[in-house]
Amino acid sequence: GIQVEQSPPDLILQEGANSTLRCNFSDSVNNLQWFHQNPWGQLINLFYIPSGTKQNGRLSATTVATERYSLLYISSSQTTDSGVYFCADTDSWGKLQFGAGTQVVVTP
Amino acid sequence: DSGVTQTPKHLITATGQRVTLRCSPRSGDLSVYWYQQSLDQGLQFLIQYYNGEERAKGNILERFSAQQFPDLHSELNLSSLELGDSALYFCASSGTSFNEQFFGPGTRLTVL
């Protein structure tokens, strides 16, 4: 099945800093999604982005499907951005295969 | 709010017991997925239903079963529970194109 690699595994940011999270895929991109899991465990949809660039407030994402990677940008980070960020893509059956996640801690 | 609901939010039970987790998909979504998130395995796909029929299966244990009812809600049944079954169980739903999946708030299961 598809392999999903996320980097970095951990990120510590000071409030106001910018950061980039990366996701690499072993196979062609189908239905790439980015999620944020907050400290309470909820999985929140951030982006559905099989290709191109999208922006939502301080977050934006870019997927380069031909090169099998996606980037998530966090600008002017806030403490509420803390949590784990996952990228995931579906296989041919529609099952989401998740990466191991990037643990982000934003300090005041 | 994703529109996917799950009950209960928390469940504490003992080894050997059986529990049922419930999920209601977003309005109009026919496809329901179940995922398990444990500390050592990460987020893993369990099973998918589409309009009442099983469509895909992951590494779901034989002690686990699921079904999707005519009103499209789904239930995940976990039996002969073991300590290692303690995890967050998520339900997700998607439309007919099976592209974007929306996740419910999860059920946190603790087996003592």
Nearest to B88 among A41, A88, A94 (CB): A41
Query: What's the CA dihedral at B58, B59, B61, B66 to 10 degrees?
Result: -10
Token representation of residue B4: 């996917």
Q: Please give the pLDDT value at position B80.
A: 98
Handedness of CA A93, A72, A24, A66 (dihedral sign): positive
Token representation of residue A41: 């465990």
Task: Name the region of A100 (left: φ>0; alpha: ψ -120 to 50; beta: rest).
Answer: alpha
First to last CA, chain A: 40
Q: Please give the pLDDT value at position A86.
A: 97
Confidence of residue B96 (pLDDT cuts 50, 70, 90): confident
Interface of A with B in 24-43 (CB under 8 A): 31, 33, 35, 41-43
- Across the interface, whether the CB atoms of B45 and A95 are under 8 A apart is answered yes
Distance of alpha carbon B32 from alpha carbon B48, whole angstroms = 6
CB A24 within 8 A of CB A102: no
Query: Is the pLDDT score of B97 beyond 80?
Result: no
Query: Is the pLDDT score of B60 beyond 90?
Result: yes
Minimal Cα distance from B94: which residue of A? A94
Query: What is the rounded average pLDDT of the residues B29-40?
Result: 93
Q: Quick one: chain A helix, strand, coil %, rounded to 5? A: 5, 55, 40
Q: Please give the pLDDT value at position A84.
A: 97
pLDDT-above-90 percentage for chain B: 89
The phi and psi torsions of A80 (rounded to 5 degrees) equal -70, -10
Name the E strands within chain B. Answer: 5-7, 10-13, 19-24, 31-38, 42-50, 53-57, 64-68, 74-78, 87-94, 102-103, 107-111
Nearest to B105 among A42, A45, A86 (CB): A42
- Across the interface, whether the CB atoms of B43 and A94 are under 8 A apart is answered no
Q: Please give the pLDDT value at position B95.
A: 86
Confidence of residue B47 (pLDDT cuts 50, 70, 90): very high
Handedness of CA B90, A43, A89, A46 (dihedral sign): positive
Query: What is the rounded average pLDDT of the residues B70-85?
Result: 97
Q: Please give the pLDDT value at position A52.
A: 96
Handedness of CA A103, B1, B5, B7 (dihedral sign): positive
| Tens of pLDDT, residues B8-27 | 999 999 999 999 999 999 99
Query: Is the pLDDT score of B98 beyond 90?
Result: no
Nearest to B58 among A44, A86, A95 (CB): A95
First to last CA, chain B: 31
- In order along chain A (108 residues), what is the average pLDDT of each group of 10 residues? 92 97 93 94 94 97 95 97 96 88 96
